[in-house]
Structures are given as structure tokens and as C-alpha cells.
Amino acid sequence: MKILIINSGSSSIKYQLMEMPSQQIRCTGIVERIGYSDTIFKYRTDFVELLETEPIKNHKVGLQKIADYLLNPKKGVIKDSKEIKIVAHRVVHGGNTFSRTARITSEVKNKIQQLCALAPLHNPANLEGILMAEHIFSSAKQVAVFDTAFHQTISTKAKKYAIPNEFFEKGIQVYGFHGISHDYVSKKAIAFLKQSESKIITLHLGNGCSVTAVQNGQSIDHSMGFTPSNGLIMGTRSGDVDHGLIFYLVNSLGYSLEDVNTLLLKKSGMLGLTGHGDLRDIQREAEKGNKDCQLAMQMNAYRIKKYIGSYVAAMNGLDALVFTAGIGENSNVLRAMVCEGMEYMGIRLDKSKNRNKSDGVWEINTSDSSVKILVIPTNEELEIARQAHALLNGSHN
């Protein structure tokens, strides 16, 4: 069965065509910078790889172009759009309404629309992707897989903010994000551990960064909150700050609320500390002796360590620490900094295993480490395809 996976962002559409249950990837690509004059269109199959730059004015045109290529007699991988049986959409915010993957109906679309207020940058683009896909692939079943759903198991004591109760009733609480990735890598770690009970911390370190405490397969706490802005230091986001600084910026330094928002989400984090948003550049500069870059790396690792400490306390122990996403999978330097000085918790890194890249679930702890340290490449597309396939084949758990 062919499943088209769509991850529609504010100015991009990532897509993948996958055969399920064999998990064979037939086509993968991205349309980036939608709405600009130099939109980048990437398309790759077993026999074609191309990159085109041309104006693509909106998501509708972008998705139509993807469909045209999929159906192209020479470059395509399908002969008829009816071959696509499911279009599975990543939807960022499912609020409290969606604790699992859902078949898309008018009611589901209305609810995703209502949740736009909670995720103004993401849900409108996700919804637009759904509407376009319904139009272009009208015979396919449409499914929504939510980034927040995995965190619906977080207990009230962990997800409620200590503000008057009426705000909790209004839906102001921790929702959590990157759930598809945390779900995927924690399941891989559980399979690796082969234990009936498990305490795992998953570190998703990419442009956005978050950490989840996963006990017996369920998310019990998570570093992002009501929005994906708090917690760890990210590429351009500050993560945790004292909210009092927002009032100081507005009342004493004359910032508008819009300016503060831009400052904390787009100009802070590693970019604000070093002038670089990409960790590869920061590592290179740090090695050359750049003090700002060295300090930013230390701050980043220190923040992660503090979250690990608090989640070990929350779970009363730890069986595995999992690194994933662009930085988690590739930066042996940051992994080493995070694991340093954690021996008292049973976290012991094998420095040479950490440096020598390996495939699949990659164990980088010493043999006497009581905690497994694992590098597990995330695969959100596969998780989305699996959940959509399971939902429509009656094996959804």
C-alpha cells in the first residue's frame, strides 16, 4: 500500500512516498521557500534526483507540482493518483482533543482549525496541506498524526502551571512537542533494552531541541510547554528564561511584544550567543578558540544536564539516555560534554565508541555503565506512515 507523507510547514512541504508495511521509500523531497521567487524544489527516487529553483507562490502550487512529478511518465513512481491509498499529515498541535492519530473528517478539520490559536505558525500550514491533498488525491484516505499526542500521558501535576485554576480550564498547560520523534526513538530504545519496565530520557537535539522522560513507554514529562519555546537552548530560541525579563524589555527598554517574540524565538539561542545558528559552525569556531562559541557549547550542555538530573529524579532512576536528531546523531562533541561528570548517576560514556559513527541503534556507553547511552536516528516520516497504516488496518495501539 502506498502512503504519501506530508509535513507542511509555514514555507515548506516535506514529502515522502512509502510502501507499507514494507517501509520501502519510493520517493522523497522537499519544497522550500514557498512564496519566494527562488523556491527550491527537491525530488528524489531510486532513478532520478533533481533540484529546481523557480517561483512557487503557495502550498497549492507546491503540492500540485509534487503530484505532477509523482505521476510523470519518465520521472514518476505512480501511474494514477488512485494508487496512493493514504495521505498522512503531520499536524503540530492536537491540543487536548487528540491523544492519538485520527482519520480526517470535517469535524477533525474544524478542531485543527480551532487549535490554530495555540500554534499560529504551524497548524494553519498543516490544515492547508490537508485541504490541498484532499483536492489533489481525492480518492485517498487522509490521516492526521499529531506531534502533541505522545505527551497526552503527562500527569496533571507535571503539565499544570501554578497560575489560577481557571487558566487550566481554558487549556493553558504543558502540551509538549516533537512527540512523533520522541515516540519513535523511545520505542526503538525499549526494543533494544528488552526489559518489561523501562526509564528512558530521549534528547531530540535539532534546530528545535527538547527532552522527554519516558517511563514504561509513556511520556511523563517534557521540556517544551504551552508552546515550543521553552526548555533547552535551541538554534535560535532561548529556551527557559525568567518571564520577568519580558516585562523588563517592554516596560524599561521600550520593546514591543512583537519585538520580544522575535528576539526570544528567532534571534536567541545559539544564534544570539555566537552569531551562528548551525552547530557545525559553532564547533569549528570553538575549536579555533572563539570564547563565545566555547561558552555557548558549555551553556547548551549544562542546560541538558539539568533536565537529565530532574527527569532522573522524577522517574527515580534511568535505564537509557537517547540522543537523536541532527545534533544528537552527529555531534560527538556535544554528547561528550553532556555525559561528562554524570558517573555518579551511572552514566559512563565510551569516548572511542562515541567518536566512531555506527548504524541503527548505536550504543556508546562503557561496559560498566549502568545506564545505556544510545544514539538512535529519528525517522518521523516512518512513524507517521506506521501510525496511519495501523489506524486504517485496525492495529492502532
Binding site residues for ATP, as ranges? Answer: 14, 204-208, 278-280, 326-330
Catalytic-role residue among 147, 183, 221, 319: 147
Which amino acid, 13?
I
Rg (CA), the chain: 21
Residues contacting residue 283 through CB under 8 Å, at least 6 positions apart: 293, 297, 331, 333, 334
Residues that bind ligand ADP (CB under 6 A): 206-208, 235, 278-280, 283, 325-327, 330-331
Q: Shortest Cβ distance from residue 303 to ligand ADP (Å)?
A: 16
Q: In whole angstroms, what is the distance from residue 143 CA to residue 146 CA?
A: 10
Number of neighbouring beta carbons within 10 Å of residue 149: 24
- CA 109, distance to chain mean position in Å, is 22
Distance, CA of 159 to CA of 148 (rounded, Å): 13
Annotated binding site: 7, 14, 90, 204-208, 278-280, 326-330, 380
Q: In angstroms, what is the minimal distance from the CB of 327 to ligand ADP? A: 4
Bridge partners (DSSP) of residue 212 are: 202, 222
Whichever of 143 and 334 has its CB closer to ligand ADP, that residue is: 334
Rounded distance between C-alpha atoms, residue 370 and residue 348, angstroms: 8
Q: Is 242 a catalytic residue?
A: no
CB of 203 to ligand ADP, least distance (A): 12
* Identity of the residue, 83 or 278, whose beta carbon is nearer to ligand ADP in the bound complex: 278
* Contact in structure between 276 and 290 (CB atoms under 8 Å): no
Q: Which is nearer to ligand ADP, 192 or 323 (CB)?
A: 323
Rounded to whole angstroms, what are the CA distances from 40 to 17, 28, 31, 32, 45? 19, 14, 6, 5, 17
Q: Which residue is listed with cell 469535524?
A: 107
Residue 77 or 234: the one with the smaller Cβ distance to ligand ADP is: 234
Question: What minimum distance in Å lies between the beta carbon of 92 and ligand ADP?
Answer: 13
CB 45 within 8 A of CB 77: yes
- Shortest distance, position 4 Cβ to ligand ADP, whole Å: 20
Query: Of 277 and 346, which CB lies nearer to ligand ADP in the complex structure?
Result: 277
Peptide bond into 377 cis (omega under 30): no
- Binding-site residue positions for Mg(2+): 7, 380
Tell me the catalytic residues.
147
